Structure 1
Amino acid sequence: MSSGRATFLELFFDLAFVVALTRVSQRFAGLGDDTGWALVTGFGRTLLLFLALWLIWSHTAWITSRYEPEQPIIQAVVVGTMFASLIMAVTLPRAMEERALPFAVAYLMVMVVRPLVVAIALRGHPRRLVPFRLVVWALASAPLWLAGALGPDHLRLPLWVVALAVDYLAWTLGWPLPWVGVAKVGRWRIAGTHLADRHQQMFLIALGESILVIGVVFSGADYSPERAAAFAVAFATSALLWRIYFYRAGLLLTEAFNRAGMPGRLGAVSERTHLLIVLSVLVTAVGYELVIDHPFGQPRPGWLLFLVGGPMLFLVARVRLQYEIFGRVSHSHLIGLVALLLCTPALARGAPMVGLSVVAAVLALVALLDALRRWGQPTEISASPIGGGTSDVGDSEA
């Protein structure tokens, strides 16, 4: 089992996801002029590609938390996964079009070949059954991925939706097989500190991608005081997202894992929460790009999906994180959600810059309420209601 913090190799691996998340943001940003059904389908296509990438990253984080990442075989697995992830990243802008096949092949190489390598490396160890489970389920969804890539364009989205649903369902159920049973990730013995590090690092990577968007868009646009103001408000919004995430709950994520009797159970829940957090940051970053380009342009209701939808999703995920760490719900985040919801109809008729400013003001209010609530009080100790109990040491696949 992994015994320490995240390694430099894993940080190197994350560089591929810096590229990947940038490409996801670009696809989202390309929807800025779409409305109605075109916006919905375009968002759904990009979301599917993001979820495929997330499954690759998440599986890798669990592998390096479950096994010693300094071992040569695990390092080879991580480097190989990085190369495949980079292929997915560079093909992602046209992955639903003419580059569907290399995207799908790179994805399947990770999902099928990687667990086979791990299983061979484990030889006679009982834990080899888990990667074999992954192979069987990956082979079950592989025909759908390949049919979607090679078949007619209009069938690609539904086929890939079913294929990805199979992969996520298998992950959720523990890859059940007849006569073998299941291998629930919540029962795995993992290095909780390591997995907490990985979740925090991925959030910072997403936040860094939003900063990259701010800088690139502003440097490439003609200078004007309005764009400069949008640039400043966008940066302040990212800083507030960082503050809200790490204040108390995000900062104590590692401690919560250390205190958990079954860190695998907490890790499974935290992984879904951080999926929402990373997605929310990417969606919010698209709003930055739209506003910096057209700070006082014509109101476009579709832009609210990014301007307001991203921050709202972030607050929903942050409420989940608060519960996972402390076993309670944050009232300040609920206030922020209600405020954004109430402001949305009015923002649909206002300039984009007004919408971004209101979002920043609401997030600032949430951060202020968080600080006031704990002013002068001792630092809280994590009291997670998730991950209680002890690992099932009798489970040979734990």
Structure 2
Amino acid sequence: MAGEDTAALLRQPDAPKRATLLELLLDVVYVAALALISMRLADDVNWLGAARVLVLLMAVWWIWSITALLTDFYNPEQLGIQLVVAWAMFGSIVMTAALPHAFRQQGWVFAGIYVGIHVGRGIVLVALLRGHEAQARAARFLLWFVVSGVAWIAGAFLPSPMRLALWAVALMIDYVGAALRYPTPRLGRVPLYQYDKASEHLGERYQQFIILALGDIILVPVVQNDGRGFSTERLGGLLLAFATMLLLWHIYVYRAGAFLQVAIRRGPGRTTRWAPYTHMLMVAGIVSTSAGFELVINGSRSRAGLGWVMVVVGGPTLFLIGRTVFEYEIFGRFSWSRLLWLVVLVGIAPLLVSPPLIVAAAVTGVALLGVGLSDAIRAKRMSAPGGHSTRS
């Protein structure tokens, strides 16, 4: 039987639901990482650049997501778990510094740290949980990250196009393995009841990350200011960025402050398994939106161009898709008003190629305002007698 010290590593049902200060400190590292990724996208607006940015973003997001799951399943007040989180934080700092060089000669730094974070965490947990049934869970995670790690390390020493392809394969292993519950020889899959142990703490962690990430919509264009001062158009772009940030916050949080908490109480297992993927879409949308406003405020084109429009309009579109799919996976229903506005955004995008980019940003902002108003109207109807207050 496992000793009391080993059993204490697991989060207890009556444990505090609030995030620890160490977890919040970890999130700060990712604000910088997302900002750098947004800047990279703004500097390289083409299909190849977008593919590279997506690979980098998915890698960075997966470290945060697995670490959030770690601190929800295990007790973050235990020294051993705190050391694992601190290792993830240090590795994330190095990865962030290596982001601009990931597809250059020093790509091995980015890949090596990514693998080191996941494999190192697995080794430590397997050692700490010796004799406890939770050791099998840690072993499953470890095996899958070792497999994907081979592709990560091999790709780091290949030319850039082949590196991109092999790293994409590695990410597919990571993401698909999690979706399949890490099937492992002799150990099988992670039991569903372990996902059902998810607490409201996990919902709070996702909310905190999204809120911090939204700040990059203002941070990136301001930090990247090229020193030309403020024109009327640049000031208008900054106001649009601020308004867009608030609208995305409203869409995510309004009647969703409890949305994620309600979802976890109703179906913790399903929420835990789907939240990383749907929130990945929302984070990708925020990164694209941040890059878009850097182009709006600091760009110099008289006409937008298709690539720039796709960045500006595509960001909020991805965010809305992620939010809509997550609601469907949890409650089995679509928000039809959001779907309608998504169709409007996609349909109007080709018409925004010729005007200045700020026009595309303004039209997108109007669409987001429409989403927010539609949500408010629907919420008011649901709160009326005979409505269903759990709808969002």
Same-fold status (TM-score > 0.5): yes
Alignment-derived partner of residue 304 in structure 1 = 309
Alignment-derived partner of residue 391 in structure 1 = none
Q: Does residue 74 of structure 2 align to residue 70 of structure 1? A: no
Which residue of 161, 172, 180 corresponds with 1:165? 172
Alignment-derived partner of residue 339 in structure 1 = 344
Letter in 1 for 2:160: D
Alignment-derived partner of residue 212 in structure 1 = 219
Letter in 2 for 1:163: A
Contact 1:26–1:93 (8 Å) recurs in 2: no
Find the residue that maps to 2:380 and give its secondary structure: coil
Alignment of 1:83-102 (within 5 A): 83-102=90-109
Which residue of 272, 275, 289 corresponds with 1:267? 272
List per-residue Cα deviations over 1:193-232 (Å, max 9, x = no partner).
0110111011112101112124324584421111111111
List per-residue Cα deviations over 1:239-279 (Å, max 9, x = no partner).
1111111122344211221233xx12211112211111111
Contact 2:195–2:272 (8 Å) recurs in 1: no
Whole-Å separation in 1 of the counterparts to 2:265 and 2:303: 51
Q: Structure 2 vs 1, CA of residues 153 and 318 (structure 1 numbering), >3 Å: closer, same or farther?
A: closer
Q: Does residue 330 of structure 2 align to residue 317 of structure 1? A: no
Which residue of 284, 292, 298 corresponds with 2:297? 292
Whole-Å separation in 2 of the counterparts to 1:376 and 1:167: 42
Alignment-derived partner of residue 35 in structure 1 = none
Alignment-derived partner of residue 132 in structure 1 = 139
Q: Does residue 126 of structure 2 align to residue 119 of structure 1? A: yes
Alignment-derived partner of residue 382 in structure 1 = 390
Letter in 2 for 1:21: L
Q: Does residue 376 of structure 2 align to residue 371 of structure 1? A: yes
Whole-Å separation in 2 of the counterparts to 1:152 and 1:294: 31
Deviation at 1:133, TM superposition (A): 1.6
Q: Structure 2 vs 1, CA of residues 224 and 56 (structure 1 numbering), >3 Å: closer, same or farther?
A: same
Which residue of 216, 237, 242 corresponds with 2:244? 237
Q: Structure 2 vs 1, CA of residues 371 and 152 (structure 1 numbering), >3 Å: closer, same or farther?
A: closer
Alignment of 1:147-162 (within 5 A): 147-162=154-169
Q: Structure 2 vs 1, CA of residues 139 and 376 (structure 1 numbering), >3 Å: closer, same or farther?
A: closer
Q: Does residue 33 of structure 2 align to residue 20 of structure 1? A: yes
List per-residue Cα deviations over 1:25-82 (Å, max 9, x = no partner).
11111124xxxxxx11111111011111111111101110001110100000000110
Find the residue that maps to 2:355 and give its secondary structure: coil
Contact 2:101–2:107 (8 Å) recurs in 1: yes
List per-residue Cα deviations over 1:96-148 (Å, max 9, x = no partner).
11220111111111111111101111110011011112222222222221121
Contact 1:249–1:322 (8 Å) recurs in 2: no
Letter in 2 for 1:265: R
Q: Structure 2 vs 1, CA of residues 242 and 48 (structure 1 numbering), >3 Å: closer, same or farther?
A: same
Alignment-derived partner of residue 6 in structure 1 = 19
Deviation at 1:95, TM superposition (A): 0.6
Q: Does residue 49 of structure 2 align to residue 42 of structure 1? A: yes
TM-score by length of structure 2 reads: 0.90
Alignment-derived partner of residue 56 in structure 1 = 63
Alignment-derived partner of residue 197 in structure 1 = 204
Aligned residues: 376
Percent of residue pairs identical = 40
For the aligned residue pairs, the C-alpha RMSD in angstroms reads 2.0
Contact 2:215–2:245 (8 Å) recurs in 1: no
Which residue of 344, 357, 360 corresponds with 1:352? 357
Q: Structure 2 vs 1, CA of residues 321 and 143 (structure 1 numbering), >3 Å: closer, same or farther?
A: closer
- Unaligned runs of 5+ residues in structure 2 are 1-9
Contact 1:270–1:321 (8 Å) recurs in 2: yes
Whole-Å separation in 2 of the counterparts to 1:19 and 1:361: 29
Deviation at 1:11, TM superposition (A): 0.2
Alignment-derived partner of residue 6 in structure 2 = none
Contact 2:98–2:109 (8 Å) recurs in 1: yes
Whole-Å separation in 1 of the counterparts to 2:292 and 2:193: 36
Whole-Å separation in 1 of the counterparts to 2:80 and 2:112: 22
